[in-house]
Structure 1
Amino acid sequence: MTRLYTRSTIKKIVKAHQPKSQLAKNVDVMLYLDYALFLNRLAAEADITALNDNERVVEARHVNTALEKVLQQFKG
């Protein structure tokens, strides 16, 4: 798997949005894991939405419907 950003670049991006906060050493790993969990949950919800519509293929409308629900769960 290729990385789009180095660890230091991710930390600089986060630090730019929160300049006065301290960052943990593994903030990039934590961000990636949260992102992976979000995508996993989004895919699962989109699949459930498609099954409820009696369709076998997940379409963009299923993802958009599931996105609202998943964003509310990850709002924190």
Structure 2
Amino acid sequence: MTQQYQPGAAGLAWRKSSFSGGNGGQCVEAALLPDGQIAVRNSNHPDAGTVYFTRAEMDAYIKGVKAGEFDDLT
């Protein structure tokens, strides 16, 4: 995993799951960077830090989520 913690990451088109709670909770959001990396942050605290993943890292993670490999975390 490639990690860089930078405040803000302004100017990106952030997206949040439609399953995120409307009451301000469960707000993980992601944005695609021009170099193809994916930025992930907590929308409740956007200046707290952003984690960056390569496309391959995010693809592996999403496949694991879809396969149920993280179901015990909820």
If the length of structure 1 is used for normalisation, what is the TM-score? 0.29
Higher helix fraction: Structure 1 or Structure 2?
Answer: 1
Calculate the TM-score normalised by the size of structure 2: 0.29
Larger radius of gyration: 1
Higher-RCO chain (CA-CA 8 Å, sequence separation at least 6): 2
More strand by share: 2
